[in-house]
Copies of this chain bind each other. A is one copy, B any other.
Amino acid sequence: MSERPAIVLLSGGLDSSTVLAIARAQGFRPAALTFRYGQRHAVEIEAARRVAAAQGVADHRIADIDLRVFGGSALTADIAVPKGRAEAEMADGHIPVTYVPARNTIMLSFALAFAEVIDAADIFVGVNAVDYSGYPDCRPDYIQAFETMANLATKAAVEGRRLTLHTPLIDLTKADIIRRGLELGVDYAITSTCYDPDPQGRACGQCDSCRLRLKGFADAGLSDPAPYV
């Protein structure tokens, strides 16, 4: 069987780097898509390039989307990234200020365009409903609704080819994700997850994203190989 193409949304963080390895393990030939969206953590893009190269991705595109035109998030506007929040606070059902309005919808829409252009019928995205920090667009019913919409949106759909949205991490804890990635040979030292890294790309260790990541490694009985300040 020849490898089928699949789009993988690759931020360069822990989750998407694991998803990329899972797509390859499932026999897909991944094309990676990374966004430059006016985010503070632009070092993520360099991490995405390292991860794509390390995993032998032949087609990696960087799409520019400037969400600063809308503001509204600590990741794109001039709002402080919260530091040192307790796990209970992250999991209280409130949506944090780091939420970027409609971000997953926008990114998946670009993935849909990319899929259509290279004739891919599969899109992989690293959303997670366990450690999702209260983001509405990480929930399973949202993902299902996006897939339904996507199957009405495109030329491929009109021609009867069904698109599948894969979310292999959706029910995994961070520790599960890390264990799975390590089985597949993911090098987490080159990934970048932090919302507020320093100019050298070292993680802050204090934002929600860092805390969830560090807790994941601790729960798996491991230490994180990535650099911290």
Contact = CB atoms under 8 A, between A and B. Distances in A.
Question: Quick one: copies of this chain in the complex?
Answer: 2
B101 A155 contact: yes
Contact of A139 (B109, B139, B152): B152
Contacts of A66: 63-64
Nearest to A111: B102
B99 A105 contact: no
How extensive is the interface on chain A, given as a class? 35 or more
B109 A105 contact: yes
A67 to B, nearest CB: 7
A95 B145 contact: no
Given A137-B153, A152-B142, A101 B117 contact: yes
A101 to B, nearest CB: 4
A114 interface: yes
A146 interface: yes
A136 interface: yes
A148 interface: yes
A157 interface: yes
Nearest to A65: B65
Contact of A105 (B69, B148, B150): B150
Contact of A69 (B61, B100, B150, B153): B61
Nearest to A117: B72
Given A142-B153, A145-B145, 4 more contacts: A62-B69, A101-B112, A136-B155, A145-B149
